[in-house]
Structure 1
Amino acid sequence: MVRFFRLLSIALTLLISVQLHAAISSQVDRNAVEQGQTFLLVLNLTQSDSRQVDLSPLEKDFEIIGRSHQSSTSIINGELESSTKLIITLAPKRSGKLEVPALTLNGEKSQPHSIEVKPVKQLSAVDGGVELLSTLSDSSPMVQQPIIYQMNLVLGQRIYNASFQEPTIKQGKALIQPLGEQRQYRQTLNGREMLVVEQSWLITPQQSGSLSIEGAKLSAEIRNLNAGIDPFRRMNDPRAMRRIFLSADSYTVEVAPIPETFTGQNWLAASELQLKSELSSQQWKVGEPITRTITLKAKGIGQDQLAELVLPTVENIKQYAAKPVYEQDQKDNELSVTMTQEVTIIPSQQGEMVLPEVKLAWWNTKTNKEEVARLPQQVINVAPSAEHAQTVTVAPVEALPVTAPSAPVNRVGNSQPNAVSENGSTLAAVQPLSAWLMVAMVVVAALCGSGGTMLYYKRAGLEPRKGKAKLEAQQVDLKPCLDALQRACKKNDPQLARDALLAWGQLVFPGCTHLNHLQQALPLSMSDMITELNRCCYDRAPSVWQGDQLWQAIKGYQPSFVSQGTNTLATLVPN
């Protein structure tokens, strides 16, 4: 019997020792709370870092309000032992019977605990409470048709330590992004003034089928009016505050697929769509730029759903499209967008030119039918450039009369220096033999010149540049733009100068689609001139712009392909 009691005492000692040295254990300060109240979960840790404890299992049914640490050190049987208490403040997210799950540390688990959360009736905003409302702009969207989820937080009293959780997708596939900034305004209902906080999100379905949207959530603290605490201590006493959790309505919608009958190249679904085009001038001349402004207005879609317009190519016309500019707006829970694209057009040949019709197929979500927006065909008459017109108006040179066969000829075969016609005019008499001799001399001189040039390159160890033709072609392309820029600068016309400068920049710097790109590529002094040009073009107040400084700067600027060509060519006649 003595031996039995001895074995039992040893077993109890070992069991107590194991409990004392367990890696983790837990306890709660109470097992029943009201919704909005908090309780404490205490974790006892031995010889472990509290940061190693994974608290994520708690977040399913509880919100972690705060945490603190208490450390202690003791000497047992000559051994130094340390322990840590991790104190976690938890707030239940819903009412009912909840379970605090077991937490794991170094392969050991703490004890689970049951918590009974009693429901508390939430007051409406009119009665001095807090409400979280939501609306959805469309309950039957199509693929890639954005819908607006709008949340309104109505405050009948002040809240503290608030945090929002945006709506999430529980089923299906969609993109969610905030739409605009959060705004606040005051509203009066039943004689009570309330603060309304409004926030919207843009949800764009990426596939057809069922789309489940879980509503936005709010976690905050409000004053506990039933706490019975001195009002002067209410903010410092934990019992004076109560935690609330609110959820806005959730939605499930059916996303319709793209109709098989749609014929457009890019899928575009909208409630309204308009397409129009304007030209900066109806007076077209060869080499002078014209700005074509294309504007697309649509409702029920955002800028992410719009693709850049692809304009058909036109023979003898160069087109340089700038980067589109988007303006997106939200009004009455509906999204609208305006896309503006500028295209610089430079005709290279006079005569009648045709700008082809532009079509854009889209799906009308109101009528559930396909429609086509059109830019009608335009016929343009291009006049010759100013330089060409001056060349054509020069008076023609009179043809010389044929020499009379009876003109006297001297013995050596040369005609007399001057021959006088019947009306007294002096004519140069040229004999056929002399003309053939002159042609032969020109041909011989040309051959000798070519041979001399080749001989010089051979002796100098050089070869003529193979890219000379390409260089000349690039210089020819720049000439109309430079001529147009010179005319605009002389007229001090900032709008024409801007168009011509953009066309020049797109040739000199491939990939340049906007004057902002050109500013980054040019020296700082020229960048400042472009900034001033832009200001004069877009400033609402009229201002005077002088273009001579800009023209001199561009005229003296050497593009990379021109400067490289100049450096690699040796002079034909060395000094």
Structure 2
Amino acid sequence: MVRAWLHTILLISFLLVSQLARADVSEVTATVDRNPVTANQSFVLTVTVDDDVANESFSPSKLLKDFVVGRTSVSRQTSMINGRLSKQTRFTTVLIPQSAGEYKIPEITIAGVSSEPISLQVLEAGSSQDTEQKVAFLEAQVDSEQVYLQQPITYVARLFLAADLNKGNLIPPEAENADVQQIGRDEESTQMVNGRRYKVYQRIYQITPSKSGPLTIVGARFDGEVFTQGQRSIFSSFSNTQPVSTIAETIDVEVQPVPDNWQGHWLPSELVSITQSVSPEQENYTVGEPLTISYMLTAVGVKPEQLPEIKPNFPNTVRVYPDGEETDQFTRNGVVISQKTVSFAIVPNQPGPLTVPALRLPWFNTKTGLAASAKTETLDFSVDMAEGMQAIPTEKPKGESPAQSSQASAQQPTKSKASVEIAWWKQGWFIALISLVLLVSLIINSYLMWNKGSASASKTNLRKKTEEKHELNKDKLWREFQQACSKNDAQAAKNSLLKWAARYFDKSFNSLTELSQHLSIKEASLATLQQCLYQPGNNSWNDGKMLYKEVKVSIEKGKKKAASGDKRGLPKLYNR
């Protein structure tokens, strides 16, 4: 029984407290912080309700027809005076009128209670009636109101604030069929306007039109809060900040199309240049040794993706390996500068003069409205054959066989014999002369046969010694080459192969191209090895076993050919 009475008392108390705490909405008030206002400048609409209502009770969407609606903040206050509980909810919305005229803020209804409508006068910006001291305003300007397609427009927005900034957001300008991008960092300064000091925040945007014709740039907008000058009470839940919004004026720009007679890549800019460099720089280069040619393209006022491809016209006497491409963009004095750097590693294949033609890139000068071109100079090089490769073509005329020498020697006594026969009819000493000629011929032939036999024996002994010295399975350098190929180590394979070949052939080799003239190796095997060595980023080489097999087969063929040549012996001295 006592417990039932206790539950009843608690329920009645809860109902009484709830009734006291509950108060119906009886009044809704709407006010503006100033009237008249200026076009493109913000004012504050405050809606006050004498009750605690939900945040969704007020929606400023009905005001979008005549104003740009900024952020809305909600604050609440609760107080108790003489035992009476009172609550208050305040909605603060920032509105921006975009054109001058007479406007009407309609009644605002919350919980069935409506406010009185407000008549608002909007003045032209900069008019004589605009005598108010602005807390915040935005100025915007472009570097040109007439541009060509894809020519970037520099848009500078400057925000003026007469009070300390609490928080805020600068919204970029908007434009259809155009790309808007912020460039550089914000700049801060101070400036006096009509005797009042303003803090100025400057931000630069780059607007690149993608379609010709008229271009409308909707101004940048600022939404934020500034501190007011009044003191804030510690007993109040309302802050001492004031919401502010402002929008810059709309700017119209005319975008001209690409000229009808234009050919090639379209690159509108104020200045374009291209430079080239060679590494290493030296007077003469060697066949098989790589050199690097780099090109740097610089353009003012464009984005990196607008730069064209760099494709030099290299001669067919070199092998070309692309050495990477880099792009960069930076800002200098508020101007965007883009750069592209492309490098090529080239390997000469033939000795003699090497000429790389000049590179020409067309572009359109937006200042003069005329076509222009950026070009490099012609590069002339001198390519020499390596020392070991110079003697190859000159050995052929000197390599006259003993048979040819014997035939030449034999032809001489034959001619002498004919002349002696003619002289015999005229002179009587023919027998003595022919005997002398036969004797000399016999001595010469005997000497040549002895000399050829000695040379062949010495060469055979030397070859045997060399083969014994360079047996593949016992040669340390050959085993290093075999291990490098099995591991697909390109650099180690090249170094060990050149060292082993220097010992095997008793001569030095400066490059794989030079060595290929002494070995019957497929060009594709050496090409993949050189590409891995000279082309950065391509470090994968998987043809080690194939290269090892081809070199070994080439050496075995060389041994068999040399052995068959020794079995043939000396050629005949006379053809009978």
Matched residue of 2:272: which SS? Answer: strand
Contact 1:28 1:39 in 2 (8 A): no
- Report the equivalent of 2:30: 30
Q: Does 1:210 align with 2:214?
A: yes
2:275 equivalent to 1:276? yes
| Percent identity between the two aligned chains | 20
Residue number among 194, 197, 200 corresponding to 2:204 in the alignment: 200
What is the number of residues matched between the two proteins? 401
Q: Mark the CA change 1:100 to 1:218 in structure 2 (over 3 Å): closer, same or farther.
A: farther
CA contact (8 A) 2:30 2:116 kept: no
**CA positional deviation for 1:387:** 4.7
Matched, 1:428 2:410: no
Pair 1:507 & 2:522 matched = no
Unmatched runs of 5 consecutive residues or more in structure 2: 1-24, 35-41, 78-87, 123-129, 411-443, 457-484, 500-526, 554-576
SS at match of 1:200: strand
Contact 2:137 2:246 in 1 (8 A): yes
What is the RMSD of the two structures over their aligned residues, measured on CA atoms? Answer: 5.3
Q: Tell me the distance in 2 between the aligned counterparts of 1:144 and 1:90.
A: 39
Point out the structure with the larger helix share: 2
Offset of 1:213 from its aligned partner?
A: 0.4
161, 182, 194: which is aligned to 2:186? 182
Write out per-residue CA displacement over residues 108-139 of structure 1, whole angstroms, 9 at most, x where no aligned residue: x9989844457785536xxxx44422221121
Match of 1:242 in 2: 242
User: What is the CA–CA distance in structure 1 between the aligned matches of 2:141 and 2:362, rounded to whole Å?
Assistant: 31
Q: Separation in 2 of the partners of 1:138 and 1:242?
A: 36
Shift of 1:376: 3.6
Kindly provide the amino acid, as one letter, of the partner of residue 279 in structure 1: V
Report deviation, 1:269.
Answer: 1.2
Deviates more, 1:59-68 or 1:394-403: 394-403
Displacement of 1:348: 1.7
CA distance in 2, matches of 1:207, 1:56: 33
Distance 2:143 2:209 in 1: 13
When residues 285 and 118 of structure 1 are mapped into structure 2, their CA distance, relative to the original with a 3 A threshold, is same
Equivalent position of 1:149 in the other structure: 155
SS at match of 1:428: helix
2:328 and 2:51 mapped to 1: Cα distance? 58
Cα deviation digits, residues 474-498 of structure 1 (max 9, x gap): x9xx8999579999xxxxxxxxxxx
* Deviation (angstroms), 1:163: 1.7
Alpha-carbon shift at residue 33 of structure 1 (Å): 4.4
- TM-superposed CA distance for 1:153, in Å, is 2.1
Q: 1:40 aligns with which of 43, 47, 52?
A: 47
Aligned residue number for residue 62 of structure 1: 69
Partners of 2:63 and 2:105 within 8 A in 1? no
- AA aligned to 2:389 is H
Secondary structure class of the residue paired with 2:389? helix
User: How far, CA to CA, are the matches of 1:334 and 1:273 in structure 2?
Assistant: 14
CA deviation map 1:224-245 (0-9, x unaligned): 44xxx5x353996748433322
Q: Is this contact kept in 2: 1:165–1:216, CA < 8 A?
A: yes
Q: 2:167 maps to what in 1? A: 161
Query: If the length of structure 2 is used for normalisation, what is the TM-score?
Result: 0.56
Give a deviation string over 1:171-210, Cα, whole Å, max 9, x none.
x521111112323345678998754322111100111110
Distance 2:497 2:191 in 1: 57
SS at match of 1:388: helix
Is residue 70–residue 245 contact of structure 2 (8 Å, CA) maintained in 1?
no
Structure 1 residue 327: Cα displacement? 3.5
- Within 5 A, what are the aligned runs for 1:68-107? 88-94=91-97, 97-99=103-105
Is the CA contact (8 Å cut-off) linking 1:63 and 1:90 kept in structure 2?
A: yes
Between the aligned partners of 1:26 and 1:289, the Cα distance in structure 2 is 90
Task: Decide whether aligned partners of structure 1 residues 158 and 63 sit closer, same or farther in structure 2, where only a CA change above 3 A counts.
Answer: same
Quickly say closer, same or farther: Cα 1:40–1:505, change in 2 above 3 A. farther
Could you say what secondary structure the match of 1:37 adopts? strand
**Is contact 1:32-1:117 (8 Å) kept?**
no
User: What amino acid maps onto 1:271 in structure 2?
Assistant: E
Query: Aligned to 2:177, which of 173, 176, 182?
Result: 173
- Are the equivalent residues in 2 in contact too, given 1:97–1:114 (CA < 8 A)? no
User: Can you list the C-alpha shifts for 1:333-387, whole angstroms capped at 9, x where unaligned?
Assistant: 4333333222222222222333223221211122211122222433333212455
Say yes or no: does 1:559 pair with 2:536.
no
C-alpha change, 1:191 and 1:42, in structure 2 (3 Å) is closer
Counterpart residue identity of residue 37, structure 1: V
Between 52-61 and 356-365, report the one with greater CA deviation. Answer: 52-61
SS where residue 531 of structure 2 aligns? Answer: helix
| 1:296-307 matched pairs, under 5 angstroms | 296-307=297-308
* Structure number with bigger Rg: 2
* 1:152 counterpart SS class: strand
SS in 2 for 1:154: strand
Partner of 2:360: 359
- SS of residue paired to 2:260: coil
Secondary structure in structure 1 of the residue aligned to 2:30:
coil
Q: Is the 8 A contact 2:76 2:238 kept in 1?
A: no
Matches within 5 A, 1:310-349: 310-349=311-350
Secondary structure (helix, strand or coil) at the match of 2:310 reads coil
